[in-house]
């Protein structure tokens, strides 16, 4: 998995490339916590264009991010979700917790 970050239009963008499972979710968690806790990010856009796979380990990191941004009255959006990943979100009951946009 690869993580690419950039600042764009008031949002801190995190692009996840590859597969997000228990072996890679710690890397994402580090990036997310560094942005929110050290760099004061309040608006986050997670780009799923090139995310191929997610397990509960990845979902858990997104939930941590949502929780931390909620406290700061921030925004968390996810864009470019592939249909099989959207299905995992639906099954897990995660869809209502995020603003989900089809295109990034």
Partner 1 sequence: MSKPNSNSELIVSSSTDNLSVIRDFIRNAAENAGLSNEAIGKITLAVDEACTNVIKHAYNYSPDGEINIAANVKKSKFIISITDFGKSFNPEAIPDPNLKESIKQKRVGGLGMFLMKKLMDEVEYHTSSGKKNQVILVKYLA
Give the integer Cα–Cα distance in Å for 18 and 38.
Answer: 26
Query: Applying CB under 8 A, does 30 fall inside the site for partner 1?
Result: no
Structure tokens, 36: 């929110």
Among the listed residues 4, 30, 70, 101, the single contact to partner 1 using CB under 8 A: 70
Among the listed residues 17, 75, 79, 97, the single contact to partner 1 using CB under 8 A: 97
- Which residue lies nearer to partner 1 by CB, 79 or 97? 97
H/E stretch holding 90 reads helix 83-92
Residue in the block written with tokens 């008031």: 10
Query: Applying CB under 8 A, does 89 fall inside the site for partner 1?
Result: no
Residue in the block written with tokens 């995190």: 14
Q: Restricting to residues 38-67, name those near partner 1 by CB under 8 A.
A: 53, 55-57, 59-60, 63, 66-67
């Amino acid at each position: 998995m690869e993580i690419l970050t950039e600042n764009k239009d008031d949002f801190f963008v995190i692009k996840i490339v590859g597969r997000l499972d228990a072996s890679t979710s710690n890397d994402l968690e580090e990036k997310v916590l560094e942005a929110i806790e050290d760099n004061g990010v309040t608006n986050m856009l997670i780009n799923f264009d090139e995310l191929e796979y997610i397990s509960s380990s990845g979902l858990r990191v997104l939930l941590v991010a949502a929780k931390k941004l909620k406290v700061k009255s921030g925004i968390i959006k996810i864009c470019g979700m592939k249909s099989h990943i959207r299905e995992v979100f639906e099954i897990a009951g995660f869809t209502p917790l995020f603003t989900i946009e089809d295109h990034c």
